[in-house]
Structure 1
Amino acid sequence: MPSRSTRPVAPLDDDDYPAYTMGRAAEMLGATPAFLRALGEHRLITPLRSEGGHRRYSRYQLRIAARARELVDQGTPVEAACRIVILEDQLEEAQRMNEELRNQRRTAQQRSTA
C-alpha cells in the first residue's frame, strides 16, 4: 500500500516510519509472524527491510494489519480480508479526494462571485 505522508516529520511522529520489528509488531497485534508474512504475500502491507534484511513495520501498517486481523478473527479468510482492507483504504482515499475537489470548486465559485 502506498505511503500517505506528504510532509517531513520526525521519525517518532511519522506514521510511515518503520519502527517495529516483526516480533514486536506481531506481539502488538496479538498475531504471529506467519500472519504478518501472509499479509505481505497478499500485498496488503510491504514492510521495509533493515540493513540486516529484517522486516520493519510502521504504525500505519500495523493499523492496516489490525483491521485485517479483526476480519480474520470474524471468520474471513486472510486473502479476502486483505482485499477488503485494500478496498476500504481505496474508498477512503477516493472520498478524501472528492472532498478536496468539492472544496476547490466552492473556493473557485466564491472567487468568481466576489
Structure 2
Amino acid sequence: MSEKSEQPEAESPSVRGVYGISVAAELSGFGVAALRLYEEYGLITPGRTGGGTRRYSDYDLARLKRIAELIEAGVNLVGIGRVLDLETRTGDLERDNRRLEADNAQLRAENTASGAEDDTANTGPTGEAASQPETGRPGRRRRPAAGQRTRLRDGPSRQRATGDHH
C-alpha cells in the first residue's frame, strides 16, 4: 500500500503515536506477535521513536478494530490489506468529489452572475434584447433536421431517416 493511502486525514486529532506495543495489544485485543505480523503485511504502520520503538495512535487502534471485523468476516490478511486500501482510496475519492462539487457550484454561481451581466450587454438601444437565433429551451436537446447526421453517445454517426425508403 502506498504511504499516502495509509495516512489518516490531516484534521484527525488522533494520529500521533502515543501507545507502546503492549498497550496497543491490550487495547486492541490482539497479541504483540499479531501486531508485528499486521505491520509486516502493511496493514498498520505505527510511528517510531528515535530509538525505533513502535508507537500506536488512536488511528492505528481504529484500523486494528476494522482488521478484527474483517477477520471475523473470514477475510485473510492479503484480502484485508486490499479492503483497507480500497476503503482508503474510496474515502480519498469521496473527498475529492465533494471538493469538485463545491468548485463546480462556485463556478456555476460565477457563470450565472456573469451571464446576468452578459444579458444586460445584449440589449439594444431601446432596452429590448438584441435579435439572436432561437436555440430552444435550455436543457433540451434539439433534433437534427431530416438528412443531418447525428452522433450517438458511444457509437458512430448515423444518418437520420428522411422518410423515403431506398
TM-score by length of 2: 0.60
**Other-structure match for 1:39:** 38
- Following superposition, the deviation at residue 29 of structure 1 comes to 1.1
3-state SS of paired residue (1:109): helix
- Following superposition, the deviation at residue 19 of structure 1 comes to 1.1
**Other-structure match for 2:151:** none
Q: State, as a whole percentage, how many aligned pairs show the same letter.
A: 31
Q: Which has the higher contact order (CA 8 A, sep 6+)?
A: 1
Contact map agreement 2:20 2:56 (CA 8 A) in 1: yes
Task: Say which one has the larger Rg.
Answer: 2
- Following superposition, the deviation at residue 113 of structure 1 comes to 1.0
Runs of 4+ more than 3 Å apart: none
3-state SS of paired residue (1:86): helix
Contact map agreement 1:20 1:58 (CA 8 A) in 2: yes
Distance (Å, rounded) in 1 between the aligned partners of 2:38 and 2:96 = 27
Gaps of 5+ in 2: 1-5, 114-166
3-state SS of paired residue (1:40): helix
**2:74 alignment partner AA:** G
3-state SS of paired residue (2:55): strand
Distance (Å, rounded) in 1 between the aligned partners of 2:51 and 2:26 = 21
Deviates more, 1:70-79 or 1:102-111: 70-79
Question: RMSD of the TM alignment (CA)?
Answer: 1.7
Distance (Å, rounded) in 1 between the aligned partners of 2:25 and 2:90 = 27
**Other-structure match for 2:18:** 19
Tell me the matched-pair count. Answer: 108
* 1:59-98 equivalent positions in 2, closer than 5 A: 59-98=58-97
Contact map agreement 2:19 2:57 (CA 8 A) in 1: yes
Deviates more, 1:44-53 or 1:94-103: 44-53
**Other-structure match for 1:51:** 50
Task: Pick closer, same or farther for the CA change 1:97–1:5 going to 2, 3 Å.
Answer: same
Matched, 1:5 2:10: yes
- Following superposition, the deviation at residue 96 of structure 1 comes to 1.3
**2:9 alignment partner AA:** R
Matched, 1:103 2:98: no
3-state SS of paired residue (1:68): helix
Distance (Å, rounded) in 2 between the aligned partners of 1:66 and 1:19 = 17
